[in-house]
Amino acid sequence: MNQRLRFFSFILLVSILVAPQARSDEGMWIPMLLKKYNISDMQAKGFKLTAEDVYSINQASLKDAIVIFGGGCTGELISPDGLLITNHHCGYGAIQRHSTVENDYLTNGFWAMSRDEELPNAGLRVTFLVRMEDVTDDVLKGVTDEMTEGDRSKILGQNMNQIRNEAINGTHYTARVASFFSGNQYFMFIYEDYRDVRLVGAPPSAIGKFGGETDNWMWPRHTGDFSLFRIYANKDNQPADYSPDNVPYSPKKFLPISVEGVDKGDFTMVFGYPGRTSEYAPASRIQDQISNTIPVMIDLRTKRLNIILAAMEISPKIRIQYSAKKSGIANSWKKNQGILRGLKRLDAVNKKLAFEEDFTNWVNQDSKRKLKYGHILNTYASITEAQSPFAVASTYANEAGRAPEIISLAGRYKSLLTLLESKADKDAIQKTVDGLLRTAERHFKDYHGPTDQKILAAMYEAWANGADPEFQPDLLREVKLKYKGDFKAYAADVFDSSIFASKEKLTKFLTRVKGSSAMKLSRDPAYKMSQGLSSLIRDKITPGLATGRGQLPVLDRLYMAAQMEMDKDKLFYPDANFTLRISYGKVDDFIPRDGIKYKHYSTLKGIVEKDNPNIYDYRVPQKLKDLYKKSDFGIYGKNGEMPVCFIASNHTSGGNSGSPVINADGHLIGINFDRNWEGTMSDTMYDPEMCRNISIDIRYALFIIDKFAGAGHLIKEMQLMGAE
């Protein structure tokens, strides 16, 4: 074991043995290590299960009911027949792909009343964690403190490949080796993918996306953000591609569902796959985001969203085409506004600077520490300063340059032009053309040319006027001069002459490709701009962002180790990296501002109060209003109310969408789907007074399935706890 690894192992051991008596609800914890780190604290807060009940490789445990859904969300099994629940917004793409004007499942919802009606989803998969393993010793085998970072990376890569290959050889599993604590520790994750996942049920968007982008990231919330899928397997319960002969998957574990509800102070646990956090970042990095990149992104997305939202009011077809796109753009747009506001409210930069002053004083107290750690903060600041203009340029290039779909589509045709110019054989050209035809078919299904034309004009005007000319494509500067700043005229000319402006033009071009087509493609205005954008990113922005990048892994690793050495009494948790984590807290209200206090739950009454037939996102279905009027809540209501959502103090992040919220008995009580706007900065700095995760109360989901949709056969699959 090398010196650094011995040191880090010692720090971990000290952290475990000298863990503080009281902690906030901050933290995303490794399930495999609950017994060492967290279980006593969890049980002191009311949890009634053991660490082995949560994570085990020797028996069925809660982790066997949790899946990665679609590569970016979490889902969980809720029946012995492979029934799975996740968020509506996680299943949104699948729901949209099945939707047409004639069968508008986004607007009307979808409910399979038999297994035969469940809809397959090409390319959708769910992933189970088979096991995880600490492989730090094996990954760092042969690594020394004296070697260069390049040599270190080479050895790490070789070691990780060997570890993965040995772990899954002869199996159908996949493996991932992930870095923790900035490369001070490594875990291997063995996964099993199931590829036949069928849509079972989804509420109408008036329920599943109630409140739309206006309510997104906000509390109180009244969104029924859930959808149902079923995993299918072959007759041996093994993963298989879609086949009518497949049968519902039989899980090792599924979650019992509590209908007893939640009260303030109740223990809650979120089990899922948080995406990315940077809790230990230096002040210089946070300051750059606050001052530069985040404001630019917000401004550009505001402009694009205004265009899309106006277009979606034109017709149902456009609304369907742009629903998923709009949601994807708006989600991070609003989140980043909350982050910016939250970091400023917390005075995050000055808090980090105060910590760094203490850190520097601690480093300077010892000559060996000063030699090892003394350069870290200044080097971070120098790298951030050097990278900053390129980071802003990258934001413009991606948020404005790539925003028009006509430009992104044209950028895919470089390979065809290369084949045509090199006079490749006809078979190679035809194979490429066939692939591009399929891409075009998918592209134009969800595309509206006049809307994209407006986006092109607005985004390129903002890019030309906002970005440093040094970081603009030459062609963009030429266009600004040629059209005297009139980007509407430029966009009109592009859409008038480009082969990428419509399905008809592009299909005609592709079906008649010949040698002379190379000139037409190379002169196409959309293609030319796409290549200018690619050149800018490749030749200027990417090299600029790489300034000092080789130093960052070393800095991150040293800084993390130094922080843990400095504060031996603190129990550190690793930043999120889309691996399975536990967070735990309690149901709680919060006070966002003076004189305002939000209670911990919302009800159907709030939905009816927000009803507005003139606004798409607030059109409450008549049947839901009728159920409310009659108080027809079945076993799912409580004290004459129908609970809808609740908040708790669990530390969550992107990727936790769809994660189960589990009570002290290990029963499902909610589906996590959001955070409050005041707490979105928790990816960088957690505030226990403000940070809340928002979940749909599972009773509301059951109510919608049973009373609203009339799909009681699905309820019969589930194990309800507390039902009379």
The residues carrying an active-site annotation are: 89, 225, 657
Q: Are 460 and 491 in contact (CB under 8 A)?
A: yes
Angle at 24 between CA 22 and CA 26, to 5 degrees: 135
CA nearest neighbour of 42 among 27, 59, 57: 27
Residues 6 or more apart in contact with residue 375 via CB below 8 angstroms: none
Q: What is the 3-state secondary structure (H, E, C) of 518-564?
A: HHHHHHCHHHHHHHHHHHHHHHHHHHHHCCCHHHHHHHHHHHHHHHH
- Exposure string for 46-79, b = 16+ CB within 10 A, e = fewer: ebebebebbbbeeeebbbbbbbbbbeebbbbbbb
Q: What distances in angstroms separate CA 658 from CA 31, 272, 586, 672, one per listed residue?
A: 18, 8, 18, 5
Tokens encoding 597: 């206090």
> Using CA atoms, how far apart are residues 650 and 692, in angstroms rounded to an integer?
7
Q: What angle do CA 225, 231, 234 make, to 5 degrees?
A: 175
Distances (CA, A) of 353 to 242, 567, 673: 55, 17, 33
The full DSSP string for 578-611 is SS-EEEEEEB--EEEETTEEE-SEEEHHHHHHH-
What burial class does residue 548 get, using C-beta atoms within 10 Å of its C-beta: 0-12 exposed, 13-18 middle, 19+ buried? middle
What is the sign, positive or negative, of the torsion defined by CA atoms of 329, 301, 459, 454? positive
Structure tokens given for 216: 């997104």
**Is the distance from CB of 263 to CB of 122 less than 8 angstroms?**
no
**DSSP label at residue 33:** G
Q: Can you tell me the distance from the alpha carbon of 656 to that of 434, in angstroms, rounded to the nearest whole number?
A: 38
Of 160, 191, 89, the residue nearest 694 (C-alpha): 89
244, 232 contact by CB (below 8 A):
no
Burial of 115 (C-beta count, 10 Å sphere; 0-12/13-18/19+):
middle
HEC readout, 221-275:
CCCCCCEEEEEEECCCCCCCCCCCCCEECCCCCCCCEECCCCCCCCEEEEEECCC
Both structure tokens of 405: 């779909």
Q: Note if the bond before 282 is cis, omega within 30 degrees.
A: no
